[in-house]
């Protein structure tokens, strides 16, 4: 059991952190170039081979590792040094509860493709994510720089504010699925529902020939408003454009990491890119069915392949299909985040706070009441 957890943890570190996160720097450059009719990163090469600019992330790592690590005079040296680690660590450990596959049976052995599946998985994400605020505040205060401190104050106000609305925006999701376990949420989405099924519940009759009108039982179809609100709030929590006020170059030079250089500077940037993957994985899990394939449940896939091949082969193939599906949805959500990042102008700070407290907060509370009312109606009509 311990070996299995270690293997899953190493898989997360190697695939998500060491592989995908650096490539996102290339995705950001190339996607912005395509949107702006430019070529994008294409200079880094090995013997003239550029690999579409994919060598740039590797070049960035070597460049940051070779730069001098400067600690400004008057800074609190200990806090200045550990702040990047405190900011980056929550983004990494958040993957522990995000499932990249389902629960599979190989003879007497049960394989669950998630490092940990606690009853309070979604709360774990929120709790761990809030710790990143400490790293940002420590970086700004310990740098002994007024601009860094102002950036840290902006970041703390923004992150704490949006934590409230981020939590409230997904209350409707776990009201619908009746669980906080992320893997159980995906299992609940590994099915379909009748598009006109409400006629059975509320009016007591079925419209003929409409049973084929079905949608995947994904969270986005149950909670479309929550999808928009949660994506907005969690992007604001990550402090990337159009919510990059703590790093506003025209106002604060570089914000809370102004006095950082070398690999510690790189850690702040890397933590933001890792969080982009976390956001994509969490949005996929909550709203896009996670690893589930639309209209093809786990039982359907294994049941179709097992008579031809062995059941073990069918289960292994199902695992590969589910993982590929999960990664495809994650890539799509990364693309959506980059699209928003390069499409929308940066908010003013008062607009940023108004969006949180005056728009998203009332909408999220209203969504909770409407969801509860609909659930009571459905359960009352089904009784």
| Mean per-residue pLDDT over the chain, rounded | 84
* Helical ranges in 12-120 per DSSP H: 21-35, 56-66, 77-93
Kindly state the average pLDDT of the residues 26-31: 86
As a whole number of angstroms, the distance between CA 103 and CA 91 comes to: 25
Relative orientation angle of helices 146-169 and 361-382, to the nearest 10 degrees: 20
pLDDT in tens, 85-127: 888 888 888 888 898 888 888 777 788 888 888 888 889 998 8
* Cβ-contact 228, 165 below 8 angstroms: no
Nearest-5° Cα angle at 262, 49 to 144:
155
* Cβ-contact 371, 223 below 8 angstroms: yes
344-382 burial string, b = 16+ CB within 10 Å, else e?
A: eeebeeeebbebbeeebbebbeebbeebeeeeeeeeeee
* Cβ-contact 377, 202 below 8 angstroms: yes
Kindly state the average pLDDT of the residues 193-213: 68
Q: Domain residue spans in the chain?
A: 1-57, 66-382
The reported pTM is 0.90
Res. 314 pLDDT band, cuts 50 70 90:
confident
Instruction: Give the SS3 label for residue 49.
Output: strand
Output 39 or 1, whichever has higher pLDDT: 39
Block residue for tokens 């190989």: 106
Kindly state the average pLDDT of the residues 217-236: 93
At residue 148, the pLDDT reads: 84
| Interacting residues of 190 by C-beta distance below 8 A, sequence separation 6+ | 102, 217, 289, 292, 297, 298
As a whole number of angstroms, the distance between CA 51 and CA 272 comes to: 25
Q: CB count, 10 Å around CB of 119? A: 11
The winner for highest mean pLDDT among 66-80, 161-175, 210-224, 309-323 is: 161-175
């Amino acid at each position: 059991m311990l070996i299995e957890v270690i293997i899953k943890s190493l898989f997360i570190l190697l695939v998500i952190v060491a592989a995908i996160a650096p490539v996102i720097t290339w995705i950001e450059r190339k996607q912005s170039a395509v949107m702006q009719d430019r070529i994008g990163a294409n200079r880094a090469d090995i013997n003239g081979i550029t690999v579409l600019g994919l060598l740039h992330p590797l070049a960035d790592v070597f460049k940051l590792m070779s730069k001098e690590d400067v600690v400004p005079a008057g800074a609190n040296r200990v806090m200045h040094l550990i702040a990047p680690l405190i900011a980056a660590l929550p983004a990494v450990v958040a993957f522990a509860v995000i499932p990249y596959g389902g629960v599979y049976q190989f003879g007497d052995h049960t394989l669950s493709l998630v490092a940990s599946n606690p009853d309070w998985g979604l709360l774990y994400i929120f709790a761990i994510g809030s710790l990143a605020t400490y790293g940002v505040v420590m970086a700004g205060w310990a740098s002994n720089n007024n601009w860094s401190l102002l950036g840290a104050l902006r970041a703390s106000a923004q992150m704490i504010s949006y934590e409230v609305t981020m939590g409230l925006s997904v209350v409707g999701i776990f009201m619908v699925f009746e669980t906080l376990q992320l893997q159980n949420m995906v299992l609940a989405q590994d099915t379909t529902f009748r598009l006109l099924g409400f006629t059975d519940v509320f009016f007591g009759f079925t419209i003929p020939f409409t049973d084929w009108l079905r949608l995947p039982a994904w969270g986005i179809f149950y909670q479309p408003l929550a999808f928009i609100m949660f994506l907005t709030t969690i992007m604001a929590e990550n402090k990337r454009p159009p919510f990059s006020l703590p790093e506003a170059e025209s106002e604060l030079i570089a914000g809370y990491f102004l006095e950082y250089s070398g690999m510690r500077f790189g850690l702040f940037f890397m933590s933001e890119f890792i969080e982009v993957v976390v956001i994509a994985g969490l949005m996929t899990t909550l709203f896009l069915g996670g690893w589930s394939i639309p209209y093809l449940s786990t039982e359907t896939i294994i049941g179709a392949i097992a008579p031809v091949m062995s059941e073990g082969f069918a289960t292994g193939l199902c695992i590969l299909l589910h993982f590929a599906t999960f990664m495809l949805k994650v890539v799509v959500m990364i693309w959506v985040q980059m699209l928003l990042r390069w499409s929308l102008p940066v908010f003013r700070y008062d607009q940023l706070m108004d969006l949180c407290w005056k728009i998203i907060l009332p909408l999220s509370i209203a969504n909770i009441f409407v969801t509860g009312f609909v659930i009571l109606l459905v359960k009352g009509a089904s009784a």
